[in-house]
Chains A and B, each alone.
Chain A
Amino acid sequence: MPEITLSQAVNQAIAEEMRRDSNVFLIGEDVAEAGTPFKVTSGLVEEFSTERVIDTPISEPGFMGLAVGAAMTGSRPIVDLMFGDFLFLVMDQLCNQAAKIHYMSGGKLNVPLVLRTNLGATRRSAAQHSQSLHALVAHVPGLKVAMPSSAYEAKGLLKTAIRDNNPVVIFEDKLMYQDKAFVPDEEYLLPFGEAAILKEGRDVTLIGTSSMRQVCERAAILLDKDGINAEVIDPRTIVPLDENTILNSVKKTSRAVVVDEGHQNFGTTAEIASRISEKAFYYLDAPVIRMGAMDVPIPFSPVLEDLTVPTAERVAENARKIVSGELVHAL
């Protein structure tokens, strides 16, 4: 099994699906010769030509609308949105059009579109290029939201997304593009709505999306040293969300810390935590703890920026508090 970077995994997934299905094409800013600022799509234009790897002007609403139309009429576009922060520019095309066309047409039209974008702070990119906005689209019915946590997930989930007949937004963590993971030689797809249990444990469940999975895994190692046995779960897709895996784990451990890089207020952590509180209430031995990004614009100052996102140390600290039975009202 070769070890490849997340960016190579995404590249492979796109190339494999473009070879498999001639309706698949890639569109976005700097996707062709430049291969995107993160070098994710490098080399694709050589194989598939500018017919299927299309550079656009700086016009997110324009090319997003174009892709929605193409998807309605039989193509399978993969839209590259350079930064997750630019989602605000394509909200109408994505949320009002793509998400609702299947419903509004009485099921006659499909929008098999993939919007690839990114999330994640601590890249010193300041407030307008550091947001994690997945909760924003997860709120809109009609959109699926995948959050790969390593190269393995990135490839398997993207291939599933491209084959899905509904609009899928896939968020890659821009700090993980160079992180390596083992990926099988043979073709594989990862199903949506199936969470992964990365480490089994009995004392507390740590649920981490995207790169917060790694944060949770590191926290679990720290907790092990204190004799606390943590279970780590990666939901992989937040829409659909694999509730059963999460609930079964919390029923076993009686405690949960939900970690996500989006802002904490009204965020992914709130959604997951409330489902646990509603559906596993009588199994809980401690309040469910949410840990998201601080509710502030992400600062440019590295010192401040690092403080805004959850770290393994802080996850472990909160887990220790609830396992020790400390009276916790809010952390």
Chain B
Amino acid sequence: MTEGMSESMEMYLKEIHLLSRDGHAAKTGEIADRLGVSPPSVSEKLDDLGRRGLVDYEKYAGARLTEDGRKRAENLLEKHCLIERFLVKFLDVDDEFHEEACRIEHVMSEDVAERLGAVVEQESDCPSCYDPERQHCIHLNAD
């Protein structure tokens, strides 16, 4: 897990990054839909992430990641992709590899994830390869 961050915060950073990587701010309602939580919970968490310097949040304008937040979100997505690819490549996890990766990614530190990159052969476009609609790396052929 990223030092000093809860699993929940990591998930917020990833979703905000995915929602805002086209340049638009991520709206509270969109984040709430993606994460299956209530909009007030999202506002509370965005305030917290703002205090940590990871998110710029204005109530009606939405949320954007700061440079620090963006780097952390990209590292988290890279880790997620690596774990998905690891599970498929070596352990034959053909179904629900996204869910499986979600369940164990928070256990692994970024140092371990970085070392896994040598084992799995990270793609050069990672983490842009992550498809938020299909919820997995586009290099994995699954629906």
A-B interaction: no
- B: residues with CB less than 8 A from A are none
- A: residues with CB less than 8 A from B are none
